[in-house]
Structure 1
Amino acid sequence: MSDHLTIVDHPLVQHKLTLMRDKTTPSAVFRQLLHEISHFLTYEITRDLPMTTKTIETPMAEMEAPTLKGKKLALISILRAGNGMLDGVLDCIPLARVGFVGLYRDEATLKPVQYYCKLPEGMNDRVAIVVDPMLATGNSSAAAIDLVKAAGCTDIRFMCLLAAPEGVARMQEAHPDVPIVTAALDERLNDKGYIVPGLGDAGDRMFGTK
């Protein structure tokens, strides 16, 4: 583990992840588990958000109380699988602004192809959390963060369920300033760019499309 990569090894996270890896787990259960794990990962990735104070009245006294500083956070989902984590993050940060980056992987080159991008306004003043369950080759994640940076954002974090060493290395090369929070660092990629042992294609498992 390094400043660039944080693995959330909480027992509940690891237990739920094992259930998700099991190929017999149905789509409905898979989605619910991903939703639940996203809560734990959100807790970790927001640990050092900037804070300030404001004066409030409790039923007992006036006090200077801690509160988040700055504009509302931006949550950026990499379509389509990122949406499986998005609702879990929104449970924890319901006032966040939400953006979407549409990328698909060219199966021949393993390179990302962009087909959609819609980001909140004022990205230069927001903390952004980019979400995608799988950090495999890292190409799609790096391309999505390129777009977020192009919109002016300077405080970006990346949250995923599983990471491969190749994806972590690619992200560290392309975006060394973007910390990664994940539930597990797996062994490797196979020749098709899938994480091993992994859990298969997260989007297909989530939506029952294969």
Structure 2
Amino acid sequence: MDVKIVEHPLAAERLTAMRDERSDSPRFRAALHELTMMLVYEATRDVAVTEYEISTPVAPAKGYRLGNPPVLVPVLRAGLGMADAAQAMIPDASMGFVGLARDEETHEPYAYMESLPDDLAGRHVIVLDPMVATGGSLLRCCEMIAARGCTDIDLISVLCAPDGIQKLDASGIAMTMTTAAIDPILNDKAYIVPGLGDAGDRQFGAYRRF
């Protein structure tokens, strides 16, 4: 699996705001929104475009639009905080949703909601999930998408752990990853270290120490 790490001062600044335990929910959400826009920009650098003719106030010119607008799939609940930013960058994108939760004892994911097109053959799908720890939840989502015929999956995540990347890579599903950072380890509760805590809790007002 191809992994692209976005190393940019502005991305690093937003990631720092998300990591900082002093950041309240509004600051965390704002940083996530802005960082998502940067990650989407990098993830879509090589997407196909089509040309068409326009007229400026001065003269005719060539215009460009996405040849195959993607389907955005935020993984609930934490991925909700990335959805508006991604759609702001790609207004023509459609949206699907996958709701996954992690069993806190087994750390295995289970689906509680699935809202995807029945046929994704020939479509470009961008999956949005702020954190990839064990990779189980994101892999389950990608399996659902691949089962509908999609062979063009891009993953966008703020933060990853090597365990999760290895699990996704070993799945055999063709996908690429764009992320702001890869942290070294997971703790005994399968949280990323140093990480940023629980991205869903921090967006929506809950707070836990790990």
Provide TM-score, normalisation by structure 2. 0.94
Instruction: Report the counterpart of residue 190 of structure 2 in structure 1.
Output: 193
Q: CA RMSD in A?
A: 1.4
Q: Indicate whether 1:32 and 2:30 are aligned.
A: yes
Map 1:104-123 onto structure 2 (within 5 A).
Answer: 104-120=101-117, 122-123=119-120
Task: Quote the residue 2:181 is aligned against.
Answer: 184
Number of residue-to-residue matches in the alignment: 207
Rate the CA distance shift 1:5–1:176 in 2: closer, same or farther, 3 A.
farther
Alpha-carbon distance in 2 for matches of 1:156, 1:175? 12
Aligned residue in 2 for 1:51: 49
Residues 154-198 of structure 1 deviation map (CA, whole Å, 9 limit, x = unaligned): 111000000001011111111452110000000111111100000
Which residue of structure 2 aligns with residue 141 of structure 1? 138
Which residue does the alignment assign to 2:5? 7
Structure 1 segments (4+ residues) deviating >4 Å: none
Unmatched segments (≥5 aa) in structure 1: none
Deviations 1:85-139 (A, max 9, x none): 1111111112210011011111121111111110146522321100000000000
Q: Is the 8 A contact 1:139 1:170 kept in 2?
A: yes
Q: Check the 8 A contact 1:74/1:120 in 2, yes or no.
A: no
Could you say which residue in structure 1 is the equivalent of 2:166?
Answer: 169
Secondary structure, aligned partner of 2:7: coil
Partner of 1:20: 18
Contact 2:4 2:179 (C-alpha < 8 Å) held by counterparts: yes
Shift of 1:59: 2.9
1:81 counterpart residue number? 78
Whether the aligned pair in 1 keeps the contact of 2:146 and 2:173 (CA below 8 Å) is no
Worse-superposed segment, 148-157 or 75-84: 148-157
- CA–CA separation in structure 1 for the residues paired with 2:83 and 2:198: 17
Of stretches 167-176 and 25-34 in structure 1, the one that deviates more from structure 2 is 167-176
For 2:13 and 2:112, the matched residues in 1 are separated by: 35
Return 86-95 or 55-64, whichever deviates more: 55-64
Runs of 5+ consecutive residues of structure 2 not aligned to the other structure: none
Q: Give the Cα–Cα distance (whole angstroms) in 1 for the partners of residues 174 and 192 of structure 2.
A: 24
1:35 aligned counterpart, secondary structure: helix
User: Aligned letter for 1:82?
Assistant: G
